[in-house]
Structure 1
Amino acid sequence: MSEPHAPQDVRPLRFYYRVALKVLSLAGVGALVLVMLSGLLGSWFGADEAGDAPGLTVELADLSPGGIRKVAWDGRPVWILRRTPAMEAADARTADRLYDPASRLSRQPAAYRNAHRSAAPEWFVFIALGTDLNCPLEYVPPQGEGEGDAWGGGFVDRCRGSRYDFAGRVLKDQPARRNLEVPPYRLVSDTRLVLGEAPR
């Protein structure tokens, strides 16, 4: 007759299972955090680089002041605004009400990290999507100093209503926390630019 099977001590085995489960859980959380950070912050790095998208030449000679040229580049809508003195004046009035006036948190080529966020004050080139949920934008024409609230016009996110000035800078107390994205582009003449080329 065989002896009854003696119960094994399973405590060491449980300990190893617990350690393995914790290590795998930490690795999973770490991978998730890495993916989220690369999605949020990764697009900010390398903003000066043209990337894989082919260059797109855009003629602007026929665009009147205050007009917007809408094109598609790199699978996203790009708007090119020909600013007027009224728009620049509206931006100057809202300068103290901006969340990120120096564009430190925003994505744009380093050469365009200036007050007008562009290669020349007359032109503003930007990705026409809100910066919090990638929603389409609406254009709001410039308003006079006494009209409406203190905001002088610009762009509004259609989903949550975040407001941006004519340089794409987000106002304080808005759902969005970053200015509109400026893609890499180069002005080759006063009325022609190439999207996808790094500024020189």
Structure 2
Amino acid sequence: MSDGVDLGRRRFLGAATGVTSAIGIGFVAVPFLSSWKPSARAQALGAPVEVDISKLDDGALMRVEWRGKPIWVLKRTPEMIERVEQADPMVRDPMSEEPQQPEYASGRLRSIRPEVLVVIGSCTHLGCSPSPRFDVGAEDLGGADWPGGFFCACHGSKFDLAGRVWRGVPAPLNLVVPPHKYVDDATILVGEDEGVA
């Protein structure tokens, strides 16, 4: 009779030990495996950013951040689009043939839709942030020759309303167009394009 009691007790102790060991392994494994996963901050830095342009007025500039970089979304008016064409003789790369933009945003306007420009707001000279200077004919930027655009006060670089760099300024390249796509008519996803505009 004592053998039956001992056998039952052994089974119970064996099962209890197994369950306790499994729980202990779980407590050790979860933090260890979690350490392999990128932090929430790291995930957020690389994640695409949705931009709602439904309330963006004509001629207005919206600023958002993606991967720690300033992203500018400019809703150009028909007059601004005309001024991009007029700036061709003054810019270094009129048809945007150098690769600072995805293929779907190449050409003079450097955008998927003519009225919406999406660029990284960092000067291609030393990374300063240019200021929007949409005032046509600004005396301090060349007078009648200034069609409006962006001016980097750090070293005097100028960019037109398509982010194309002017000739004879320190910045060597156009402002960079990040990968982006339209989710719908009012939403742009910056940081993801899947090769589709």
Distance 1:106 1:166 in 2: 18
Q: Which residue of 2 aligns with 1:125?
A: 118
TM-score, normalised relative to structure 1: 0.70
Distance 1:74 1:154 in 2: 24
**Does structure 1 retain, via aligned residues, the 8 Å contact 2:85–2:108?**
no
Q: Which runs of 4+ in 1 moved over 6 A?
A: none
Distance 2:100 2:87 in 1: 21
The gaps in structure 1 that reach 5 residues or longer are 1-51
Partner AA of 2:175 in structure 1: L
Deviation string for 1:66-120 (max 9, x for gaps)? 1111011011110100001121122121111210112223411111112210110
SS at 1:70's partner residue?
Answer: strand
Bigger helix fraction? 2
2:62 is the counterpart of 1:69:
yes
Distance 2:104 2:50 in 1: 20
Q: Which residue of 1 aligns with 2:168?
A: 173
Offset of 1:142 from its aligned partner?
A: 4.1
**Does structure 2 retain, via aligned residues, the 8 Å contact 1:118–1:125?**
yes
After superposition, residues 63-142 of structure 1 pair within 5 angstroms as 63-142=56-135
Which deviates the most, 135-144 or 163-172? 135-144
Distance 1:106 1:96 in 2: 20
TM-score, normalised relative to structure 2: 0.71
**Does structure 2 retain, via aligned residues, the 8 Å contact 1:90–1:142?**
no
SS at 2:73's partner residue?
Answer: strand
User: Which is bigger in relative contact order (C-alpha 8 A, separation at least 6)?
Assistant: 1
Task: Give the aligned length.
Answer: 149
Q: Which residue of 2 aligns with 1:186?
A: 181
Partner AA of 1:165 in structure 2: D
Partner AA of 2:119 in structure 1: F
